[in-house]
Amino acid sequence: MLLQDSSSLITGASRGLGRALAESLARAGSRVVMVARERGPLDDAVATIRAAGGTAHGIAADVGDKQAIHRITGAAAALVGPIDLLVNNASTLGPTPLRLLLDTECEDLERVLAVNLVGPFRLSKVVAGSMALRGAGVIVNISSDAAVEAYPTWGAYGVSKAALAQLSNIWNAELDGSGVRVLSIDPGEMNTRMHVDAIPDTDPSTLADPRDVAARILDAIAGVTS
């Protein structure tokens, strides 16, 4: 898939990796639709891309809300055309400071799964059908090493990311031959607000810049579409 003249939908796009990805994709010529819950930071991120000459639209929505899914996908396809690239980047840690499973409220686990697993599934289900019809498309699910390693207090988040990674695997098995590819990417530890929320005392100089990670992810997208 050539990013030039493509249509991208990125969740969690007002900050951190999502914003860096939206900026990189827009620079590569993709028309980006950016989703985030908070209008203020989202408008700021959209304005930055537009000021640089890119095409960007912001939709304030919560991917953990079932009612929001078609609002996002419908408005996105209306604004930029059928979606060629979906990046499921939005995710939540649940309440911070992070807690032991024994201290985790069941409702907090449900909320983490709704945002990190069910939301990406719902969005993918809508856009992958259109992609499979057209015979091309890429879905990127942002994973974490917490999907594999059993870090104490990272239970809800780790479970959600492990499930998301397996969801990516099964999507790929089912979509084999359709022209639609699903990437599960662990971006590593980045200097983002989420990381500060999770581990407040980390030295930021030891963390990757989300812009560098975004560049690697664009390379990975190019790798499965060339």
Partner 1 sequence: MTPATRPPPSRDAIRLLVVDPRSGAVADRRFDALPQLLVPADLLVVNDAATLPASLPARGPGGDAVEVRLLGPTAGDRWRAVLLGAGSWRQRTEDRPPPPPLAVGARLAFDGLGASIAALSPLSPHLVELAFDRAREALWSAIYAAGAPVQYAHVDAALPLWEVQTAYAGRPWAAEMPSAGRPLTWELLGAIRARGAAVAWLTHAAGLSATGDPDIDAVLPLPERYDIPARTVAAIEAARARGGRIIAVGTTVVRAVEGAAATTRGLVPGSGETDLVIGPGFCPRMVSSVLSGVHVPGESHFELLAAFAPRRTLRAAVGRAAALGYRGHELGDAMLILDGAAETHSWTSSSATASRPAPTGANTTRSTTPASTSLPPTIST
> Least distance in Å: CB of 135 to partner 1?
9
Is 76 or 218 the residue whose CB approaches partner 1 more closely? 76
Q: Is 50 in the site for partner 1 (CB under 8 A)?
A: no
Check if 161 is active-site.
Answer: yes
**CA–CA distance, 122 with 130 (Å, rounded to integer):** 13
Structure tokens at 40: 């203020």
Hey, which residues between 67 and 86 contact partner 1 (CB under 8 A)? 69-71, 73-75, 77-79, 81-83
| Shortest Å, Cβ 32 to partner 1 | 12
What is the nearest approach in angstroms of partner 1 to the Cβ of residue 177? Answer: 9
Using the rule CB under 8 A, is 109 a contact of partner 1?
no
What is the torsional sign of CA 45, 190, 209, 11? negative
Rounded CA-CA distance 157/188 in Å is 15
Q: Residue 145 and residue 156: Cα distance in Å, rounded?
A: 13
Among 28, 60, 163, 208, binds partner 1 (CB under 8 A): 60
The tokens of 157 are what?
């988040």
- Would you say the C-alpha torsion 18, 19, 22, 27 has a positive or negative sign? negative
Which two structure tokens, joined as six digits, stand for 56? 């960007």
Catalytic residue among 157, 160, 168, 184: 157
Catalytic residue among 7, 124, 144, 161: 161
Does 136 contact partner 1 by CB under 8 A? no
In the residue annotation, 151 being an active-site residue is answered as no
Contact 53, 41 (CB under 8 A): no
Q: Which of 30, 143, 160, 168 is catalytic?
A: 143
Strand stretches in 76-150, DSSP E: 85-88, 137-142
DSSP state of 137: E
3 vs 42 by CB, closer to partner 1: 42
User: Mapping DSSP to helix (H, G, I), strand (E, B) and coil, where does residue 51 land?
Assistant: helix
Nearer to partner 1, 70 or 193 (CB): 70
> Which two structure tokens, joined as six digits, stand for 200?
């407040």
Between 123 and 156, CB nearer to partner 1: 123
Q: Which two tokens stand for residue 16?
A: 């951190």
Q: Does 40 bind partner 1 (CB under 8 A)?
A: no
Q: Is residue 130 involved in binding partner 1 (CB under 8 A)? A: yes
The contact set with partner 1 (CB under 8 A) reads 33, 57-61, 69-71, 73-75, 77-79, 81-83, 126, 129-130, 132-134
